[in-house]
Amino acid sequence: MHSDQPEIRPHKNKHVAERFEGMLGKLMVAAIVILAIGAIYMVMTGDSTPSWMR
């Protein structure tokens, strides 16, 4: 029997490593932003030693 609709294949589940690989870029950007905020805070306060290290 011939159908006018094309065959629909089910979506393949992504492997955990593929999901992590997709999020890796976003995680790196977030880490850089957090480090930049910390560096700006240290420059503004003039204190390079965190309070937990004193």
Could you tell me if residue 40 is inside a domain?
yes
Encode pLDDT of 4-40 as tens digits. Answer: 667 777 767 777 777 788 889 899 999 999 999 988 8
Question: In sequence order, which residues have a C-beta less than 8 Å from that of residue 14 and are 6 or more positions away?
Answer: 22
**Could you list the residue range(s) of the whole structural domain that residue 37 is in?**
17-44
The total number of structural domains in the chain stands at 1
Its sign, for the CA torsion 43, 45, 47, 51, is negative
What are the residue ranges of helices labelled H in 1-54?
16-45
Q: Say what the pLDDT of residue 3 is.
A: 61
CA–CA gap between residue 30 and residue 46 (Å, rounded):
24
pTM of the entire predicted model:
0.55
Could you tell me if residue 2 is inside a domain?
no
